Structure 1
Amino acid sequence: MDPVTDLDARFGDPSARPTPWPETLRVLEEAELYWLATVRKDGRPHVTPLIGVVHDDAVHFCTGVGEQKARNLDRNPQVTVTTGTNTWASGLDVVVEGTAVRVTDRPSLQTLADAYLDKYGEAWRFEVGDGAFGTSDDPAAVFRIAPATAFAFAKEPHGQTRYRFPAR
């Protein structure tokens, strides 16, 4: 189901039009790098770059189970993921807000491992273990972020589009 789409005229050029969701989804799918924001135990933000894949309109990422972001997600699964061009006058920046949910079933993990391989090549070939990527003593937890709200920040002309997604 497509999200409800609104253009916020307060934050853009009068000639701006809403960015269609398929265009925003394409930017998410093609991004090489994402920035993930989680919340630490004491409420401070934690932001880190990572790789990821988009599957079934959701952003997926993995992290070692002992890493800071995994520990943060154990306490608070609310996250923000960003990607884009890091330029002022061209491209499209995207922000996705949602809840990170751990993926543990083998078929889904295999699909995502294949997606990482397709996108990033051999450098990011993951073995599927028991509820995680990897079969060693240091597995990587895999998370799915289904968007609750997303934003596209267009630059030609400047315009801010908000997408609201029905509860899944």
Structure 2
Amino acid sequence: MDTQNAVSVSLDDIDVVVEGTARKVTDMPTLERVANLYASLGWPARASGGAITAEYSAPSAGKGPWDLYVVTPTAAVGVATKEPHGATRWRF
């Protein structure tokens, strides 16, 4: 499995792409913390069998269980979408 990946987000004044290495999370305390956060936001998620489960999800998510990954960043690129514009790259 290729662990190299990129995560992108478009904010009000900057677009950011973070490159990094992904690692599957299987420890129950972390899974429970994430599931509880989702549940507090209205999605009845729970940690079970080393993954996140729920009775339902968005159709685009497919059928669970869903694995959780943490990304350790190695680099990022930011491109400003408002004046004065510009771009930069960070290495971690």
- In 2, are the aligned partners of 1:129 and 1:135 still within 8 Å (CA)? no
- Amino acid across the alignment from 1:139: P
Size of the aligned set, in residue pairs, is: 84
Equivalent positions of 1:10-159 (< 5 A) are 75-85=1-11, 91-118=13-40, 121-122=41-42, 124-134=43-53, 138-155=64-81, 156-159=83-86
Unaligned runs of 5+ in 1: 1-74
How many Å apart are 1:158 and its aligned residue? 1.2
> Matched residue of 1:113: which SS?
helix
For the residues of structure 2 that align with 1:135 and 1:84, how far apart are their CA atoms? 28
Aligned-partner residue type, residue 24 of structure 2: R
TM-score (norm 1): 0.44
- What amino acid is aligned across from residue 35 of structure 2 in structure 1? A
Q: Which amino acid aligns with 2:18?
A: V
Which consecutive aligned stretches of 4+ in structure 1 deviate over 6 angstroms post-superposition? Answer: none
Secondary structure of the residue aligned to 2:5 is strand
Structure 2 stretches lacking a partner, 5+ long:
56-62
Q: Which has the higher helix share?
A: 1
Distance 1:131 1:109 in 2: 7
Shift of 1:163: 1.6
Q: State the identity %.
A: 38
